[in-house]
Chain A
Amino acid sequence: MAKGIQLDTSIRNVGLREGYADQINPAPFVNAYNSSIRAGQQLQDFGGQLGDLAVAEQKVYNSTQVNSAKAARTLAFAKHKEMLLQPENFNPHTYEQDLLGGLGKINTNLEKKQNPRAKSLIAADGLDFVATQTGIVKKEARVFRVKALKATGLESLRALRQEHINLPDTPSNAVLKQQIDDTMLAMITDMVDGNILSPEDGNKERIDILSIREYAKLAELIDGVTSRKQVNQILDKVQYQDEKDVAILKIRGFQNAEANKRANVATADREARLARQVKEDKQEAKGADLDGRIFDPNTQKPVTLKELRQLRDDGEITRNYFDKRVEQINSGVVFTNRPTVPEELDKIHKLVERQIQNPTETIIKPSDIQDNESLSNEDRNIFKQRLLGADRSAADSEVSTLRKRLRQGLSVDTLLRMNKRNMARKKLAKIHEFDRLTDKRQKGDPSKALEIYNRMIAEELNINDPTHPLSQIEVKDGLDKIPDNIRTTIKSDTGLIVPHISEMAKKANQLHESKKISDDDLYQITDELEELGTIWDQKAIEKHGNIKSAKKVSEEKKEEDKKQVKEKEKQPVVTGTKPIPTIESTQFSPSKVTPREETTLPSESGAPAMWELAQSLGLNPEILKNAEYFPDQFIFEKWSELLERELTEEEKPIFKLLMDEVGRRGING
């Protein structure tokens, strides 16, 4: 080694950044999340959009609900309105309240089962509908109210007008008619003031009333006119009549003026003739009355000359009549009764009827009848009364015919021919009653002649009597309609079925009170009892059924008490005389009456002596009941009957009793 070991000691420097580690770029890792983040955001956005869609859907749904509710509301409101306008439901005074109240209910119902949004929208729509309809309904309701008030008002006016028309035009009604007019006018004013009636309609109604009032007044005045001048004067003041009515009134007025002129003359003449006729009729009637007394040998009040003079001076009889009767009285003529010559009867009857049919002619006068010696006193009186009592008018023919039929029906002429005076007198009394009831001058009514005739014939034939077979059939029918537990009858002595009406009514009421019969049943029974009552009145029931009303029982008891007191007072004076028999009718107590019980007349055990007396005279039970009160005539006739024959031992005390009674009562036959 020449130069030694060559060492390489050089050491290289290291670079400053030698050995550095590179940094990691985080971007890829960090950015990797961006997609996830974006996905989340998109999901969020999607949710948002879906939400918007849901909201939009819900809006459509709500809108549909609102529209549906609107349609339903309109339909329901129209239906409700239609229902309220039905005649049976319609009330103009509550129409508005009912309709708006109904609308409120409709709205409430529509809001039910809706979501809050739809509910509020429907409610708002409902309020809008209410707001729209309220004005319309109010206007409509006011129209209805006004129409109703108008109708009511006009109806009242019509009723008042009808009342006005129905009231007869008499002086006593004048004030009332005026009041009705005033009321109507006040009503019209009120209706116009209250806007119920338009001023034009009000004025028309007012003019109608005033027109009718004026027309009535004009007609009244026109009816009384006697000259054309008066007619013109009256019609010059017309205010409310149209020209046509005025023209008619004028024609009517002119006719009235002429007619009234003639009528005044005729009336004066008629009145004079009527006055004369009335006076003559009165004189004839008075004469007939006096004749009845003069020619009646049994009269209790004989005619004296003083009386005749007084009547002559008073003008109640004619001078001729006076002179004639004075002569007859002074000459001592006794006008005894004589039998009627049948031919004369027919002749006079025909003359009298001709006279009645021809009032303007003089065919026969009452004095002619009076002087006719071929007629009995009774027939003369009958003809004279017929002549004087008949209405001499054309309408008399019906009355005359009916009178003739009645006379025939009552067999007056037959009885007179048989000389049955008493019976004929009773029948003639009926004829006279017929004359009185059909004669205008005696305040009778000729138009009721047929009715009166039927009634009298029915009475004659005894049809109205409950004892008549027809009545019995009706009673049986009526009783059959009454239930068994109520039906109560009594069998009279003569076998009549007497309905005990008061007892049946009492039972019916008791059953009704105890709810055993219905109201309808009670009404039906009451009707039937009323029907029976028209046949069997209380008096008839008392008479035939021996039942007395409480009032009658009470009255009789009082009477009996009085009698007993009197007898006690008399006893010391009439000692030893037989007491005057009294009549006591027996009676049933209602409590003893049982349904369907046929009650017999009570025994005569408790009856008074008069009962025995009646029995002893052989009277039948019917007559005995009729003789309940034993009129004077009955006593007298029975006494007379016993007087004319020889008495048995049994009849002697009866005769004495009758004689005592005749004396006590002062019966002179």
Chain B
Amino acid sequence: MIFDEQDLVKTLKKIDCFEAIGYAILAEGATAAAATTAGMAASSLAMTVVGTGLTAMQQAQQGQTANAFAQRNALIQNRNATIAQQNAEFNAKLHERDARRRRSSQVAGLQGSGVEIYEGTNLIAMAEQEFTDDMNAQLIRRGGTIESQNLQMQAGITSAQGTASQKAGYTAAGASLLTGAGQVGMQATKFKQQGVFS
């Protein structure tokens, strides 16, 4: 602290501008003491109003900023979801191609050896192999879908959080305004009671 309370009071008492403000407010014939007090009171009211406004405005802007970043993050998460979906599809397709090659190779090898593969157990084995490959490909796709959906869901939450932060900012601003108004009103009432402006 540069000033303690007593220093502040001493300093303020020396400020002649308070007296000038008081003379401007009060009726003609007011004493210097009354004018100083009235000027001080008017300044205090002005400071409280300005401080309240500043606080409220900053709180509102803070909420807006938080919201803006949350929306941005939600967009990123949605994009990541799309990427996860695309990655799973890619991997599934890659798996399907590899499985198909492998089965084709096996068919070609067997057929080269004269094994009839489209009959009997070979055929069943072949069909089982195809089914397994397909299932794996689908599992890959499912993993991507789940990831994508999770990310989309997270994006929604993030967006909602941003909106909530904005609202919270406005609420805080409103609360600050109300508090400030109450404070100003209370001060004005005190001043009136003490006859500062009379």
Contacts and interface: CB of A to CB of B under 8 A. Distances in A.
Do A and B assemble together? yes
A614 B180 CA distance: 133
B165 A40 contact: no
Nearest to B27: A113
Interface in B7-40: 8-9, 12, 29, 33-34, 36-38, 40
A16 B84 contact: yes
A19 B46 CA distance: 55
B170 to A, nearest CB: 13
Nearest to A117: B195
A19 B12 CA distance: 62
A29 B53 contact: no
Interface string B64-75: 011011101100
A326 B58 CA distance: 165
Interface residues of B, number: 73
Given A14-B91, A57-B37, A116-B195, A24 B73 contact: yes
A571 B67 CA distance: 161
B39 to A, nearest CB: 8
A54 B41 CA distance: 5
The binding surface of chain B is classed by DSSP as helix
B108 interface: no
A47 B87 contact: no
A114 B194 CA distance: 11
Contacts of A43: 47-48, 50-51, 54-55
B91 A13 contact: yes
Interface in A72-131: 113-119
B47 A33 contact: no
Size bracket, chain A contacts = 35 or more
Contact of B61 (A11, A33, A57): A33
Contacts of A116: 192, 195, 198
A58 B41 CA distance: 9
A34 B58 CA distance: 8
B183 A48 contact: yes
B152 interface: no
B84 A48 contact: no
A47 B44 contact: yes
A21 B43 CA distance: 52
Contact of A40 (B5, B9, B58, B86): B58
A15 interface: yes
A546 to B, nearest CB: 87
Nearest to A29: B65
A41 interface: yes
A11 to B, nearest CB: 5
A53 interface: yes
Contacts of B98: 11
Nearest to B48: A47
B83 A50 contact: no
B159 interface: no
Contact of A22 (B65, B76, B101): B76
A45 to B, nearest CB: 7
Interface string A299-311: 0000000000000
Nearest to A115: B195
Interface string B169-180: 000000010011
Contact of B34 (A15, A24, A61): A61
Contacts of A54: 37-38, 40-41, 44, 191, 196
A523 interface: no
A53 B40 CA distance: 8
A300 to B, nearest CB: 113
Contact of B147 (A14, A16, A21, A42): A16
A55 B47 contact: no
A59 B29 contact: no
B187 interface: yes
B41 A48 contact: no
Nearest to A46: B47
A668 interface: no
B76 A50 contact: no
Contact of B191 (A29, A46, A55): A55
B184 to A, nearest CB: 8
Nearest to B158: A23
A179 to B, nearest CB: 71
Contacts of B88: 16
B56 interface: yes
Contacts of A45: 51
A36 B187 contact: no
A131 B33 CA distance: 31
A53 B54 contact: no
A116 B198 CA distance: 7
Interface of A: 9, 11, 13-24, 26, 29-30, 32-34, 36-37, 39-51, 53-55, 57-59, 61-62, 64, 113-119
Closest 5 CB pairs of A and B: A115-B195, A43-B51, A47-B48, A40-B55, A26-B69
Given A50-B44, A55-B194, 7 more contacts: A13-B94, A19-B80, A21-B76, A46-B47, A47-B45, A47-B49, A117-B198
21 contacts: A13-B94, A16-B87, A16-B147, A17-B83, A17-B147, A30-B66, A33-B61, A40-B54, A47-B50, A49-B5, A50-B43, A51-B41, A51-B48, A51-B191, A54-B37, A54-B196, A55-B41, A59-B194, A61-B34, A115-B34, A116-B195
Interface of B: 5, 8-9, 12, 29, 33-34, 36-38, 40-41, 43-59, 61-62, 65-66, 68-70, 72-73, 76-77, 79-80, 83-84, 86-88, 90-91, 94-95, 97-98, 101, 143-144, 147, 158, 165, 176, 179-180, 183-184, 187, 190-196, 198
